[in-house]
């Protein structure tokens, strides 16, 4: 493969004039490369200083700036890439990441091990959207959680993920929980006659993540849930790079400040859709529009697009909108977002007056109509 010697990042900066926008862009380019005054950089290393390729005003006092960096700053190290992308510049006021060189990202990051195609094959689902729910609340015993999982499974749900708040609490220790839930799910599958996948939450310290991943494999789980902003994005990338057998579902806990920052952070689709995909998320959970959080429908569509974009030399991710989707609006969302979507519905299924199994059957039927 012809490796890229340089790569570009597109930032948005605030400035009153083109001159100020230029100066700010140079400050970012310097901060993110040599991180010292230009006159103090040895002449033979000045080629490593980031260079401002273009600056253009996109709206009142908001400028788009494209900065080119030398690949030698990163040297194929995904963690160091994050540092060049938004290390110190995250501290510079009014600097936002709005695009990343996709070719370079595809080169240095592993991307999802499985992706949409392989997951469809594993699940035996040709083209319809997938259903997903969350096992909760925290405080239930393994037996109580298993009972709920059985109802979801016998109702025919595609994926059950742990609530991201289920860690290793006394009420339901990881091992006991996974054992009980896997057993219940396999029993439920006998009733539904179809596959239900169970993804326990493995978020923890680095050692715990690896340990719980291995336990999940041994105990027969079908995937894992991880909150990459709690474990470090680089931890998720390490799992993906090891070509582990279970798909990874990524949860947005602790990531909000990166995507709801009015003038800083990341454009949400670049953060969730592009960066999390590059760092190995087979499923990208994000807060859907009209739920409990604040994304617009356009932002959600843009995340969906980045997750699936075939122009990228990385396996695709399944966009997984959640965070307060009403079970009665699934048709509307499925028509809007299309087939390559996983709909994560939690609370609204638990609120169904006729119980979890009926709720699941209705949810499932709505999506199976798209097959």
Site for its own copies in 237-296 (CB under 8 A): 237-238, 252-262, 264-265, 287, 292-294
Stretch that binds its own copies, among 167-175, 180-188, 332-340, 362-370 (CB under 8 A): 167-175
Q: Which is nearer to its own copies, 119 or 356 (CB)?
A: 356
Interaction of residue 86 with its own copies, rule CB under 8 A: yes
Interaction of residue 155 with its own copies, rule CB under 8 A: no
Least separation in angstroms between CB 256 and its own copies: 3
Interaction of residue 176 with its own copies, rule CB under 8 A: no
Interaction of residue 77 with its own copies, rule CB under 8 A: yes
Sign, Cα dihedral of 122, 128, 129, 135: negative
Least separation in angstroms between CB 260 and its own copies: 6
Contacts of 95 (CB under 8 A, 6+ apart): 11, 12, 13, 24, 28, 89, 264
State which of positions 91-110 bind its own copies (CB under 8 A): 91-93
For 32-101, where are the alpha helices, taking DSSP H only? 78-86
> Containing H/E element for 208?
helix 206-218
Interaction of residue 79 with its own copies, rule CB under 8 A: yes
Q: How far is CA 180 from CA 101, 147, 259, in A?
A: 45, 9, 36
Q: Which is nearer to its own copies, 45 or 214 (CB)?
A: 45
Stretch that binds its own copies, among 190-198, 216-224, 307-315, 344-352 (CB under 8 A): 344-352
Q: Can you read off the two tokens belonging to residue 253?
A: 């806990």
Residue with tokens 């009153």: 16
Stretch that binds its own copies, among 98-106, 116-124, 228-236, 309-317 (CB under 8 A): 228-236
Stretch that binds its own copies, among 100-108, 123-131, 187-195, 205-213 (CB under 8 A): 205-213
Interaction of residue 37 with its own copies, rule CB under 8 A: yes
Question: Pick from 308, 355, 348: which is nearest to 324 by CA?
Answer: 348
Residue in 323, 327, 345, 363 binding its own copies, rule: CB under 8 A: 323
Residue with tokens 């190290």: 77
Interaction of residue 220 with its own copies, rule CB under 8 A: no
The partner residues of 130 in beta bridges, in order of sequence, read: 342
Q: Can you read off the two tokens belonging to residue 298?
A: 């356009």
C-beta separation of 98 from 270 below 8 A: yes
């Amino acid at each position: 493969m012809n490796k890229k010697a340089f790569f570009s990042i597109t930032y948005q900066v605030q400035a009153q004039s083109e001159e100020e926008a230029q100066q700010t862009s140079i400050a970012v380019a310097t901060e993110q490369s040599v991180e010292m005054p230009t006159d103090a950089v040895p002449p033979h290393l000045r080629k490593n200083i980031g260079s401002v390729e273009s600056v253009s005003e996109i709206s009142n006092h908001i400028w788009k700036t494209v900065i080119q960096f030398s690949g030698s700053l990163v040297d194929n190290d995904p963690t160091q890439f994050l540092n060049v992308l938004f290390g110190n510049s995250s501290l510079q006021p009014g600097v936002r990441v709005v695009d990343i060189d996709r070719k370079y990202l595809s080169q240095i990051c592993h991307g999802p091990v499985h992706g949409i195609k392989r997951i469809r094959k594993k699940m035996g689902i040709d083209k319809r959207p997938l259903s997903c729910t969350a096992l909760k609340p925290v405080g239930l015993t393994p037996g109580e959680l298993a009972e709920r999982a059985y109802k979801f499974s016998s109702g025919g749900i595609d994926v059950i993920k742990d609530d991201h708040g289920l860690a290793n609490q006394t009420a339901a220790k990881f091992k006991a929980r996974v054992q009980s839930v896997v057993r219940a799910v396999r029993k439920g599958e006998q009733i539904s006659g179809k596959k239900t996948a169970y993804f326990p939450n493995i978020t923890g310290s680095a050692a715990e993540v690896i340990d719980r991943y291995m336990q999940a494999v041994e105990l027969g789980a079908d995937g894992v849930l991880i909150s990459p902003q709690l474990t470090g994005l680089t931890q998720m990338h390490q799992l993906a790079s090891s070509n582990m057998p279970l798909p990874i579902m990524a949860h947005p806990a602790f990531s909000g400040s990166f995507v709801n920052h009015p003038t800083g952070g990341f454009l949400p689709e670049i953060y969730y859709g592009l960066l999390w995909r590059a760092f190995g998320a087979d499923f990208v959970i994000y807060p859907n529009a009209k739920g409990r959080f604040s994304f617009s429908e356009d932002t959600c569509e843009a995340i969906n697009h980045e997750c699936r974009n075939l122009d990228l030399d990385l396996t695709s991710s399944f966009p997984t909108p959640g965070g307060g989707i009403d079970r009665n609006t699934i048709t509307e969302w499925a028509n809007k977002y299309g087939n390559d979507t996983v709909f994560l519905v939690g609370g609204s299924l638990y609120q169904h007056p006729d119980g979890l199994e009926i709720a699941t059957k209705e949810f499932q039927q709505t999506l199976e109509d798209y097959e």
